[in-house]
Amino acid sequence: MTTREQWIAGARPKTLPAAIAPVLVGTSFAGYNASILHTLLALIVGVALQVGVNYANDYSDGVKGTDADRVGPMRLVGSGAASADAVKKAAFISFAIAALAGLILASRTSRLLIILGAICIVAAWTYTGGPKPYGYQAMGEVSVFIFFGVVATVGTYYVQTESVSREVLLASFAMGALACAILVLNNLRDLPRDDVAGKKTLAVVMGDKSTRDLYKWLMFFALVMSVALSFFSFFYLLALVSLPLISKSVRAVSAGASGPALIDLLVKTGRIQIIYAIALSLAAWLVAR
């Protein structure tokens, strides 16, 4: 693997659906009021924050020694492929790109977005960085639900319409649940090593069985949100197209999938989120006709 390929792998591109899906949904719920420029800027913010938090986690876990022996994507610091300082710099560059795109959005909509953006960047860094990383205190899933679910989806809708609706709020809950499900699988995969390393993720606190149950309920919750949205329009039931894939993944996780099998399921869960988001977005556009 070349240096360039290592850096791309270290950015963990398979996690990007969690950043792309809420922007797609938020834009679609805005309908014909959506601005292509605002969509592009929101997408840059989301993807740059996701890449930034991935590099930040690589740096923080690497210097703490918790990435020394991992199953899963490339760890730049833990594997020795890159220096801790270089990875830290990459994280800050990613955050700077997100901040710049966010500032442009704020200048075109509301300056309150500057405060929100600053909170997002601080949350991204302190997930595993700083003296008391909340990712080590079983709070990672809560953060993902808030920032890659509610904030990303509703925020995208807001920069398009400068308003908030009940429908987009329900959609943001679904996006948050699916993003959480990706993190739950990631932490389930790493549970044995995290436990030994003293990294208290939610999976470590809950244990193997309860973590698998949590994945199941998060996926089920996303489906429930599409049903709840059907009270506004039956078109939103289109999101149930993801039901067969969700059922298959839930069965595999409940059956005890581990190691490389969980890596494959993590990728499939990201794919499910994109499929769900596309179906929900199509429904939103049909409603907006």
pLDDT tens for residues 175-218? 999 999 999 999 999 898 888 877 889 999 999 999 999 999 99
CATH class of 3-288: mainly alpha
Domain ranges for the chain, please list them: 3-288
Considering the chain, what is the average pLDDT of its residues? 91
* For residue 123, pLDDT beyond 80: yes
DSSP H stretches of helix in the chain? 3-10, 17-30, 36-64, 76-79, 84-108, 112-126, 140-145, 152-161, 166-197, 202-206, 208-229, 243-254, 260-288
> Residue type at 89?
K
Whether 148 and 18 have beta carbons less than 8 Å apart is answered as yes
**Among 4-13, 23-32, 33-42, 232-241, which stretch is predicted with the lowest mean pLDDT?**
4-13
Count of other CB atoms within 10 angstroms of residue 57? 25
Whether 113 and 106 have beta carbons less than 8 Å apart is answered as yes
Contacts of 130 (CB under 8 A, 6+ apart): none
Handedness of CA 138, 170, 252, 266 (dihedral sign): negative
> Residue type at 7?
W
- Amino acid 80: pLDDT: 82
Here the tokens at position 186 are 């990631």
pLDDT tens for residues 221-275? 999 999 999 999 999 999 999 999 999 999 999 999 998 899 999 999 999 999 9
pLDDT tens for residues 279-289? 999 999 999 88
Provide the β-strand partners of residue 98: none
Task: Please state the pTM of the whole predicted model.
Answer: 0.93
